[in-house]
Amino acid sequence: MNTDHYLTLSALLFTIGAVGVLVRRNAIVVFMCVELMLNASNLALVSFSRAHGQLDGQVAAFFVMVVAAAEVVVGLAIIVAIFRSRRSASVDDASLLKY
């Protein structure tokens, strides 16, 4: 089985996620873009796993899912806290720290 198409798709998803992080303004959307990047990595891991004919990559994908879930908990807690004190989740509004 040729896994090249899946790798291309994963590279595409990763790029969309990375560009999204850089251009979007809402912290939640930025965070969703990071999740997209992690899932693109999962797709790459599983495709490579298939290409190599072993399970290591698939097992790694499970680890990544658990880590991503933990990251959601921490990330949403921080973003909700900042939204409640500022009434805004825009990453541009949080600009007290500079220079």
Catalog residues that contact another protein under the rule CB under 8 A. Answer: 7, 10, 14, 17-18, 21, 27, 30-31, 34, 37-38, 40-41, 44-45, 47-49, 51-52, 54, 56-57, 59-60, 63-64, 67, 70-71, 74-75, 77-79, 81-82, 84-86, 91, 94-99
Q: How far is the CB of 1 from another protein (least distance, A)?
A: 15
Q: How far is the CB of 21 from another protein (least distance, A)?
A: 5
d(CA 20, CA 40): 14
Packed helices 56-86 and 27-52: angle between N→C axes, nearest 10 degrees: 180
Q: Could you tell me the two tokens for 31? A: 């965070």
d(CA 35, CA 75): 11
Q: How far is the CB of 2 from another protein (least distance, A)?
A: 14
Q: Which is nearer to another protein, 2 or 85 (CB)?
A: 85
Q: Could you tell me the two tokens for 96? A: 């007290």
Are the C-beta atoms of residues 50 and 1 closer than 8 Å to each other?
A: yes
Q: How far is the CB of 3 from another protein (least distance, A)?
A: 9
